[in-house]
Amino acid sequence: MTELGPSDLFDPPTSVFLCGSGRSLLNWVAYALVVDHPGGFVWGHVRLEGEVLEDSDLLKTQLIPRERFIAVSPGELKRDELAGNVAVSGLMRSQEEGEPVRRFSDFLRLPAQTRDLISRLPREGSPPVLVLSGGHRLAALYSADTVAPTVRSIVEFGGSMLMTWADAPVKGRLEFERILHLKGDDPSQWRTAVLSVEKGWAGGPLRTGAELRLADLAPVASVLGRSW
Q: How many beta carbons lie within 10 A of that of residue 78, not counting itself?
A: 15
pTM of the model: 0.91
Q: In terms of residue numbers, what domain contains 168?
A: 6-77+127-227
pLDDT in the model for residue 6: 56
| Cα torsion 17, 23, 25, 28: sign | positive
Residue 168 within a domain: yes
Strand partners for 213: 194
pLDDT in the model for residue 120: 79
Residue 201 within a domain: yes
Q: What is the CATH number of the domain that holds 163?
A: 3.40.50
Residue 115 within a domain: no
Residue 116 within a domain: no
- Tell me: the pLDDT tens digits for 134-171? 999 999 999 888 999 999 989 988 789 999 999 999 99
Task: Report the pLDDT averaged over residues 48-69.
Answer: 94
Residue 214 within a domain: yes
Residue 102 within a domain: no
Residue 96 within a domain: no
- Tell me: the pLDDT tens digits for 2-15? 666 656 799 889 99
Rounded-to-integer distance, Cα 96 and Cα 39, Å: 34
Domain count, the chain: 1
pLDDT in the model for residue 112: 86
| Cα torsion 53, 38, 203, 131: sign | positive
DSSP E strands, the chain: 15-20, 41-46, 69-72, 129-133, 161-165, 178-183, 194-199, 211-213
Residue type for position 13 = P
Q: How many beta carbons lie within 10 A of that of residue 191, not counting itself?
A: 15
pLDDT in the model for residue 144: 86
Rounded-to-integer distance, Cα 133 and Cα 43, Å: 8
Task: Kindly tell me if the per-residue pLDDT of 223 is higher than 60.
Answer: yes
Residue 171 within a domain: yes
Packing angle, helices 144-158 and 112-119, rounded to 10: 20
163: three-class secondary structure by DSSP: strand
